[in-house]
Structure 1
């Protein structure tokens, strides 16, 4: 028998020497994916956190089809188009008050690159030498060079160390140790005069779904304001209802100086990102002197079809029913995870908005804990798209998920724990 031909496709975050056969998906609808061999999969992580209202939402699909027939691409330098103008205008109405300009890009990583360049360009153009960036321990902001530089140093970026710039890191505000984080930020802002502080509001995603309260976010913004340090909110994952409000910063009643949005911006239909900023950051680049131009772009900046998808997504967010779906999912998630708080095989059972996470107790810790691939393989066999971060299992479904879907998801998590521990939970 001839060996099966290997695909030439190189998949992200996949060790092909260990990877089982790649799942071939042919169709998506709502919270479900359908494979070439006829299986139905519940998308319990919104396909890497991007799908909000569900796969192939008809309103977004229709907008894409209509736009593709009119204008599918145009250089955005010196040109504009209606979908981009509409998206920018609606974003500024929905985003925290005080953000005034919208810069388009293609992905979460590039929106962070844009934010960092905006911050450094601002200080350079007003004649102040402020170049240091402050970050939070365990943070993740993307896989391009600047985004890696402001993320946690680990095996994920060890090979690229020579490319990364140095940063100042403050500790994660673990429960009971929040003041240590605030003190460290205040010290860094006072003593190092950094250009900016970048943070994932309320939840650190790839760092392990680590959650902290809104009052800490509010205090971090206050500290930055006191030292005139630009506050960059990376809401790439936390935006679009994931934390229970449209944007996580709303819960702290803060307006970032620069904000990064992507993932759910198009409802998960097409790649698009934006970086929003205050007027004075734009004004620092506004001059008759061409050398003060903001030098950043990509070929597909503000692609009209992607912008049409974003406009359709933003239309959906204008409907109160959409917000009610978010609240409903948050309630269902809390109910679904409650029983795990008494299961001795799990710890740190937590929820913020529509996101839940829990850690399977094990001797091995970290992303490379051996339980991770075992759990993922188990869930795959159960028709569940769950991608644990080591021993951390998280659920972040589209807002069209049903209570029956969640029962199936959490039933799968219980059964996975049974399979790995060889015993049923002893629940008090």
Structure 2
């Protein structure tokens, strides 16, 4: 049996319709920007394998660090123990995360990092709204000594079109979409608002002011909404919204699972705003795509709500593989590579090339005629009007084919067309995007641009 056949008999793949599903491509090797299948065909990984691979596949520096760590300590419980990779990673991350962060809480992936942030925020208000708690006959009761805090906040504010993960808390604060449809009656209520712009900023601020005293936290993907369709919005208006949110004492949670570690052109998207988050969620590029690891960092103000003689105010959350030494080691190695001047120069170079190519596509689209016929030298599809956008190493646009949305079947067709040219992309419905590893070469990036240009004209 081939690897494809063996897979078909035993595997259930994510985000994949099971009936009449296309057989997965058997990948046997990765090197740099390239993936290699069983037949020796190579594919440029233009989306960094779901946005995680920063420095390319099978990077020798990260591999060597992992090997050495595996010979020393591969795993240890993180309740009551600690180890060098976890402490070193926290020490290195805290100074570079934008804001005044004091503590790192480890988890397993992006969804769990946002789950931790939500629980951390809600319990912050729960802890502060009560006096000393005691356990009496297995029932939690409130001591007569009451806190001076006036009221408990329980609501969450989030954006329409948001995506924060697939666990239940993360789904609750994500847009009600095809991703969450089967679970809507199980998700907690959330106040959803649009991303800010010049036309709606006043209205959004009024919502924040009118409901602010009930809102525990505001969770957001800064500047780029990933799985919701690579939707982008301006830092100027986000800054104004964040200022209004902070004036109401609402905890700000930046979900930088996708945008972190250079994707937007800066180390973190939150650097584009003056107002900084109180909690930040990191994963994906954290380990350079090598291992699963999640981080939820918080300010000292959040942390102090849990520093208490009352054991019932402990943050009762953890994972078996919390702060896994191998994952922390991979993150440290990735950070070494990321902070090198040559890597920062590559990020700047990709960002510049994306802008140049976006301008080129805009010119092509404006010069096109509606009655042209598709040929090898002419576009197969039209660009959705004014949908072309880029920020840092991310470039995206919509194909004018059917309805906008994840279920648009054009994604399968476009993926296949790209694979035939040795390029792997995975459109979100009719949203086509690229987010390449930082090690991509001029030739490779040119090939990706050429495929997109052939797609559009």
The TM tier, using the shorter chain, reads over 0.9
Aligned to 2:313: 292
Query: Do the aligned residues in 2 keep the contact of 1:44 with 1:395 (CA within 8 Å)?
Result: yes
Are residues 134 and 16 of structure 1, via their aligned partners in 2, closer, same or farther at CA, if it must alter by over 3 Å?
same
- The answer to whether structure 1 residue 324 and structure 2 residue 326 are counterparts is no
> Offset of 1:21 from its aligned partner?
1.5
* Mapped contact 1:240–1:264 kept (Cα < 8 A): yes
2:398 aligns to what? Answer: 359
The match for 2:208 among 169, 188, 195 is 188
Distance 1:100 1:108, change over 3 A: same
Counterpart of 1:394 (choices 403, 417, 433) is 433
Contact 1:232/1:258 (8 A) holds in 2: yes
Are the aligned partners of 2:278 and 2:299 in contact in 1 as well (CA < 8 Å)? yes
The 8 Å contact of residues 266 and 311 in structure 1, kept in 2 or not, is answered as: yes
In structure 1, C-alpha distance between the alignment counterparts of 2:230 and 2:300, rounded to whole Å:
33
Larger mean Cα displacement after TM superposition, 334-343 or 9-18: 334-343
Aligned match for 1:256, one of 268, 277, 294 = 277
Range with bigger deviation, 239-248 or 324-333 = 324-333
2:372 counterpart residue number: none
1:316 Cα shift? 2.0
1:161-186 CA distances to partner (integer Å, 9 max, x unpaired)? 2321010000133xxx4341453244
Residue in 2 that maps onto 1:35 = 37
- Cα distance in 1 for partners of 2:111, 2:337 equals 25
1:336–1:406 CA contact under 8 A, matched in 2: no
TM-score normalized by structure 2? 0.87
Given the alignment, which residue of 58, 68, 84 partners 1:66? Answer: 68
**SS of the counterpart of 1:64?**
helix
C-alpha contact 1:132 1:192 (8 A) present in aligned 2: no
Change (3 A) 1:4 1:110: closer
**1:213 has 2:234 as partner:** yes
Match of 1:372 in 2: 411
Shift of 1:213: 1.3
Aligned equivalents of 2:394 and 2:363: distance in 1? 19
Partner of 2:134: none
**Distance between the aligned counterparts of 2:201 and 2:160, measured in 1?**
10
Corresponding residue of 2:371:
none
Is the contact made by 2:404 and 2:431 (CA closer than 8 Å) also made in structure 1?
Answer: no
Is 1:336–1:407's contact at 8 Å kept on the other side of the alignment?
no
Secondary structure of the residue aligned to 1:232 is strand
1:232 aligns with 2:271: no
Unaligned runs of at least 5 residues, structure 1: 418-424
Structure 1 match to 2:304: 283
Instruction: Say whether the 8 Å CA contact 2:98–2:270 is kept in structure 1.
Output: yes
TM-score, normalisation: structure 1: 0.93
Unaligned residue ranges in structure 2 (runs of 5+): 130-150, 366-381
**Is contact 1:182–1:219 with CA below 8 Å preserved after alignment?**
no
Q: Which residue of 2 aligns with 1:53?
A: 55
Q: Distance in 2 between matches of 1:233 and 1:12?
A: 25
- Residues in 1 aligned to 2:168 and 2:209: alpha-carbon distance in whole angstroms: 24
Question: Residues 62, 185 of structure 1: CA spacing in aligned structure 2 closer, same or farther, 3 A cutoff?
Answer: farther
Q: Secondary structure at the match of 1:236?
A: coil
Q: Please tell me whether Structure 1 or Structure 2 has the larger radius of gyration of its CA atoms.
A: 2
Q: Does 1:137 align with 2:163?
A: no
Per-residue deviation, 1:58: 1.6
The SS at the match of 1:96 is coil
How far is the alpha carbon of 1:150 from its aligned partner?
A: 0.2
State the Cα distance separating 1:303 from its structure 2 match. Answer: 0.2
For 1:301 and 1:179, locate their aligned partners in 2 and report how far apart those are by CA, in whole Å: 44
SS for the counterpart of 1:103 is strand
SS in 2 for 1:104: strand
Q: State the alpha-carbon separation in 1 of the partners of residues 235 and 45 from structure 2.
A: 28
How many Å apart are 1:318 and its aligned residue? 3.1
1:301-356 Cα deviation digits (max 9, x unpaired): 00000000011112223322221111011112222332211333213111101100
